[in-house]
Amino acid sequence: MQKWEYKVVKRADISEVKLNAWGAEGWELMNFVFPHCNIPGSFDEIDVEVVLRRPTEG
C-alpha cells in the first residue's frame, strides 16, 4: 500500500515559482483546500490552506 507525505501551506504564501519547484521535487497539488476562519462567526479573516502530497520512500 502506498504511503504519502503531506504538506499543508497557506495559499497566500505560495507563488507560482514555489509551486513549480515543489512539483519538481515530486509534490502534487491535491484537489481540495482547507478554509479556516480566524474569528468565529466572521468571514472577514479567512486563511485558505492548500494540500500537496508525494509518495514516501520505502
Q: What pLDDT tens digit does each residue of the chain (58 aa) get?
A: 889 999 888 877 788 999 999 999 999 988 766 665 555 555 555 566 788 999 997 6
pTM metric for this prediction: 0.65
Residue 40: predicted pLDDT: 59
> What CA–CA distance (Å, rounded) separates 43 from 51?
21
Specify whether the CB–CB gap between 13 and 50 falls below 8 A.
Answer: no
- Domain residue ranges in the chain: 4-55
